[in-house]
């Protein structure tokens, strides 16, 4: 057996690849495919039974009804803003970790950044619910400045999601910046560039793939979220909520499936677009 | 270092601010578990251990914790096997469609959890004809945990190259002997790191779980979510939350001990 495998790398590859491919390629991709097919089926409005006849009604509703358009754009907007906030917060700390901190401080900072990832998602959203509540910490901090807590709503959702996904942005940028040779920065400053100039023309372009890699996480995770918005978003809905309500209360799986294809299509375009930047190697 | 002094000071300030932003909510959760007020008014007027006693006695929380630990252990086990196989296949062989395969492995975490959730929910019920329950949660979790192991294994194999394995083969060791005596020992710490991530990922997951858990099975995150909005249960939820925050130091400690290389595949964390 061992000798046969040794002589035939093709067989070895086949044996190694078959189990994961059965799981992911057949079962998982099959499940995604079936979901998409379901989105092209209708539903009997009296019995609630799924009718297995082809129809584009679900997608027509999705595009024509004002409410779903609003929710789609709101979701994309939230995901984009969360990504921007995370990139802005993550870049300086990642740069500090990679290029300024001593090895000891760097090690500690990596731990400090990663630890919140292990603290439960719900716990963090729950913490923001407490902080943003009336009489919570945010209000307590804001009142002396004549401001108020944003309360539960879209701002709260963006803050909470940005908080939740921040480590996913910091780590790829840090890893990308760490790979960046110091000699490039030195060359830039030897050639007379100031720090800001080096930042804009050397560091940022080279760190861009890593930043995009981080954005895959923040964007995708925000787009599919429906729990944070239920905890801190007040009555606002995102695409995830529409899917959730249609699977659960409304029991309209075909429509839920149609809604769920939006994030998938968006993510596929996103992944295809960023493949060229080399971002996928930075994951 | 070539960054100017001003730039470095700015970076320090931003770093400190980011850390304050990250740690304030977590510290608050821990503090609030001692807060006498049920509504977690800030600042707390008085501290108490009453909620910790109530939480320790909560059967629901204990059962949910047990389910979560079992699910995470099984999902980790499956993803260790499948992730290692996929990692070896992709890193030690060149074949047509190789990049598509690696994209496919990333897909379950790249796609929003809700999509994976309803796709699996639909497939389990209508295609496989399974009842939702413990097993379906494990299968669903394993699906998105494979990538963490895969990432770690692949990074390690890439870094170490294939020379040692080739030497082993040249000296007459067969495929399995080489794996047992050469490849596996090289991979061990990467597997532990990947497995730890997979465990954490599964333990914390709620979105996919919501769609793949039966009515009776409650993992800890689902228990927390179900009880979060009940005013009576809120203090107990807060204690569970505080425990989870404090417990997050444990895997970090192990991860640090395990692998000196902290930034290898850690972004597979989601």
pLDDT at residue A279, as a whole number = 66
The Cα A153–Cα A23 span in angstroms is 40
Whether B267 has a pLDDT exceeding 50, the answer reads no
B176-189 exposure pattern, b = at least 16 Cβ within 10 A, e = fewer: eebbeebbeeebeb
Please judge whether A116 and B108 are an interchain contact, meaning their C-beta atoms are less than 8 angstroms apart: no
Whether B269 has a pLDDT exceeding 50, the answer reads no
Q: Is residue A266 part of a domain?
A: yes
Q: Is residue B96 part of a domain?
A: yes
- Chain B touched by A41 (CB under 8 Å): no
pLDDT at residue B198, as a whole number = 92
Q: For residue range A180-198, what is the model confidence (pLDDT) as tens digits?
A: 888 888 888 888 888 888 8
Q: Which residue has the higher pLDDT, B83 or A146?
A: B83
Whether A281 has a pLDDT exceeding 90, the answer reads no
Least confident of A268-282, B135-149, B189-203, B222-236: A268-282
Threshold 0.95, pTM exceeds: no
- Chain A touched by B135 (CB under 8 Å): no
Which pLDDT band, with edges at 50, 70 and 90, does A8 fall under? confident
If you measure CA to CA, which chain B residue comes closest to A16? B85
Query: Which CATH number does the domain housing residue A112 bear?
Result: 1.10.3720.10
Q: Is residue B121 part of a domain?
A: yes
- Between A and B, how many residue pairs show a Cβ–Cβ distance under 8 A? 309
ipTM value for the complex: 0.80
Are the C-beta atoms of A232 and A132 separated by less than 8 Å?
A: yes
Q: Is residue B150 part of a domain?
A: yes
Q: Using DSSP, state whether A53 is helix, strand or coil.
A: strand
Q: For residue range A102-157, what is the model confidence (pLDDT) as tens digits?
A: 888 998 898 888 888 888 888 899 889 888 887 778 878 877 787 777 878 899 99
Q: Using DSSP, state whether B133 is helix, strand or coil.
A: coil
Give the A window 158-217 contacts with B, CB below 8 Å: 163, 166-168, 171-172, 174-175, 178, 182, 185-186, 188-189, 194-196, 198-199, 213-214, 216-217
Which of A23, A194, A220 has its CB closest to that of B110? A220
If you measure CA to CA, which chain B residue comes closest to A167? B267
The Cα B153–Cα A169 span in angstroms is 22
Please judge whether B18 and A166 are an interchain contact, meaning their C-beta atoms are less than 8 angstroms apart: yes
Whether B259 has a pLDDT exceeding 60, the answer reads no
Nearest Cα to B245, choosing from B69, B22, B40? B22
Q: Which helix (H) or strand (E) holds B164?
A: helix B163-170
Please judge whether B28 and A182 are an interchain contact, meaning their C-beta atoms are less than 8 angstroms apart: no
Whether B189 has a pLDDT exceeding 80, the answer reads yes
The Cα B143–Cα B150 span in angstroms is 12
State the pairing for strand pair A41-43/A50-54.
antiparallel
Which pLDDT band, with edges at 50, 70 and 90, does A283 fall under? low
Query: Which CATH number does the domain housing residue B162 bear?
Result: 1.10.3720.10
Which pLDDT band, with edges at 50, 70 and 90, does B268 fall under? very low
CA distances in angstroms from A45 to A49, A51, A147, A261, listed in the order given: 8, 10, 49, 22
Which pLDDT band, with edges at 50, 70 and 90, does A93 fall under? very high
Number of domains in chain B: 1
**Cis upstream peptide for B171 (omega within 30°):** no
Whether A266 has a pLDDT exceeding 70, the answer reads yes
Q: Is residue B214 part of a domain?
A: yes
pLDDT at residue B260, as a whole number = 53
Whether A50 has a pLDDT exceeding 70, the answer reads yes
pLDDT at residue B41, as a whole number = 67
Q: Is residue B9 part of a domain?
A: no
The Cα B75–Cα B146 span in angstroms is 9
Q: Is residue A178 part of a domain?
A: yes
Return the ∠ at Cα A226 (arms to B60 and B17), rounded to 5°: 95
Q: What is the domain range of residue B150?
A: 58-268
Q: Which helix (H) or strand (E) holds A50?
A: strand A50-54
A211-225 exposure pattern, b = at least 16 Cβ within 10 A, e = fewer: bbbbbbbbbbbbbbb
pLDDT at residue A189, as a whole number = 82
3-state helix, strand, coil in chain B (%, to 5): 75, 0, 25
Whether B26 has a pLDDT exceeding 60, the answer reads yes
Q: For residue range B120-148, what is the model confidence (pLDDT) as tens digits?
A: 998 998 888 888 889 999 999 999 999 99
Q: What is the domain range of residue A218?
A: 56-282
Q: Is residue A33 part of a domain?
A: no
Q: Which residue has the higher pLDDT, B110 or A75?
A: A75
Q: Is residue B32 part of a domain?
A: no
CA distances in angstroms from B132 to A128, A266, B22, listed in the order given: 32, 29, 36
pLDDT at residue B262, as a whole number = 44
Helix pair B234-247, B249-258: axis angle to 10 deg: 10
Q: For residue range B215-244, what is the model confidence (pLDDT) as tens digits?
A: 788 899 999 998 888 878 888 888 898 898
The Cα B82–Cα B89 span in angstroms is 11
Q: List the single best residue of A104, A117, A253 to mutate versus B (max B Cβ within 10 A).
A: A117
Q: Which helix (H) or strand (E) holds B168?
A: helix B163-170
Q: List the single best residue of B2, B39, B165, B205 to mutate versus A (max A Cβ within 10 A).
A: B2
Q: Is residue B157 part of a domain?
A: yes
The Cα B258–Cα B260 span in angstroms is 7
Please judge whether A16 and B88 are an interchain contact, meaning their C-beta atoms are less than 8 angstroms apart: yes
CA distances in angstroms from B265 to A62, B46, B157, listed in the order given: 38, 44, 12
Mean pLDDT of chain B: 85
- Chain B touched by A113 (CB under 8 Å): yes
Q: Is residue A15 part of a domain?
A: no
Least confident of B45-59, B63-77, B87-101: B45-59
Please judge whether A123 and B93 are an interchain contact, meaning their C-beta atoms are less than 8 angstroms apart: no
Q: For residue range B159-177, what is the model confidence (pLDDT) as tens digits?
A: 888 888 888 888 888 888 8
Are the C-beta atoms of A243 and A260 separated by less than 8 Å?
A: yes
Strand partners, A50: A43
B47-75: average pLDDT = 87
CA distances in angstroms from B104 to A4, B62, B127, B222, listed in the order given: 29, 36, 21, 28
Q: Is residue A47 part of a domain?
A: no
Strand partners, A31: none
Instruction: Count Cβ atoms below 10 Å from residue B5 Cβ, excluding itself.
Output: 8
Please judge whether B119 and A243 are an interchain contact, meaning their C-beta atoms are less than 8 angstroms apart: no
Q: Please report, rounded to a whole number, the percentage of residues in chain B having pLDDT higher than 70.
A: 93
pLDDT at residue B231, as a whole number = 79
Number of domains in chain A: 1
Whether A158 has a pLDDT exceeding 90, the answer reads yes
Highest mean pLDDT among A48-57, A81-90, A139-148, B201-210: A81-90
Please judge whether B122 and A31 are an interchain contact, meaning their C-beta atoms are less than 8 angstroms apart: yes
The Cα B154–Cα B147 span in angstroms is 10
């Amino acid at each position: 057996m061992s000798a046969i495998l040794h002589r035939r790398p093709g067989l070895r590859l086949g044996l190694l690849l078959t189990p994961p491919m059965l799981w992911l390629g057949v079962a998982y991709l099959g499940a995604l495919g079936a979901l998409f097919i379901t989105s092209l089926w209708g539903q009997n409005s009296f019995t609630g039974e799924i009718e297995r006849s082809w129809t584009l009604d679900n997608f027509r509703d999705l595009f024509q009804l004002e409410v779903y358009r609003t929710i789609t754009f709101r979701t994309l907007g939230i995901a984009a803003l969360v990504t921007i906030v995370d990139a802005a917060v993550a870049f300086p700390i990642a740069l500090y970790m990679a290029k300024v901190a001593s090895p000891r401080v760097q090690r500690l900072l990596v731990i400090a950044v990663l630890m919140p990832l292990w603290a439960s998602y719900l716990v963090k959203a729950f913490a923001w619910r407490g902080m943003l509540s009336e009489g919570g910490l945010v209000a307590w901090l804001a009142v002396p400045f004549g401001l108020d807590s944003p309360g539960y709503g879209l701002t709260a959702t963006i803050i909470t999601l940005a908080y939740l996904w921040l480590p996913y942005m910091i780590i790829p940028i840090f890893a990308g910046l760490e790979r960046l040779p110091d000699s490039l920065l030195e060359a830039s400053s030897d050639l007379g560039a100031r720090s800001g100039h080096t930042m804009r023309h050397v560091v940022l372009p080279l760190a861009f793939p890593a930043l995009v890699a981080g954005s895959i996480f923040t964007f995708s995770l925000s787009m599919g979220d429906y729990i944070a918005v239920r905890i801190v978003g007040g009555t606002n809905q995102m695409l995830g909520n529409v899917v959730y309500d249609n699977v659960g209360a409304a029991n309209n799986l075909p429509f839920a499936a149609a809604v769920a294809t939006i994030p998938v299509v968006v993510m596929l375009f996103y992944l295809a677009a960023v493949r060229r930047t080399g971002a996928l190697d930075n994951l | 270092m070539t960054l100017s002094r001003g730039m470095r000071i700015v970076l320090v300030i931003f770093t400190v601010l980011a850390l304050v932003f990250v740690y304030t909510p977590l510290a608050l959760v821990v503090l609030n578990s001692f807060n006498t007020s049920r509504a977690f008014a800030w600042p707390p007027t008085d501290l108490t251990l009453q909620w910790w006693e109530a939480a320790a006695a909560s059967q629901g929380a204990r059962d949910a914790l047990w389910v979560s630990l079992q699910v995470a252990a099984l999902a980790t086990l499956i993803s260790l096997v499948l992730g290692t196989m996929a990692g070896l296949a992709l890193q030690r062989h060149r074949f047509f469609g190789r990049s598509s395969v690696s994209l496919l492995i990333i897909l379950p975490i790249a796609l929003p959890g809700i999509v994976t959730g309803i796709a699996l929910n639909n497939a389990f019920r209508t295609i496989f004809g399974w009842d939702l329950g413990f097993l379906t949660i494990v299968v669903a979790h394993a699906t998105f945990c494979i990538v963490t192991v895969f990432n770690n294994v692949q990074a390690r194999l890439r870094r170490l190259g294939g020379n040692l394995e080739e030497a082993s083969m040249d000296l007459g060791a067969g495929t399995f002997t080489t794996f047992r005596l050469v490849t596996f020992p090289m991979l061990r710490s990467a597997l532990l790191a990947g497995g730890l991530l997979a465990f954490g990922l599964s333990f914390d997951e709620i979105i996919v779980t919501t769609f793949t858990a039966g009515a009776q099975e409650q993992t800890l995150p689902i228990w927390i979510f179900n009880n979060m909005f009940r005013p009576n249960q809120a203090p107990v939820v807060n204690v569970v939350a505080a425990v989870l925050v404090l417990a997050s130091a444990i895997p970090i400690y192990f991860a640090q001990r395990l692998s000196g290389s902290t930034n290898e595949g850690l972004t597979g964390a989601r």
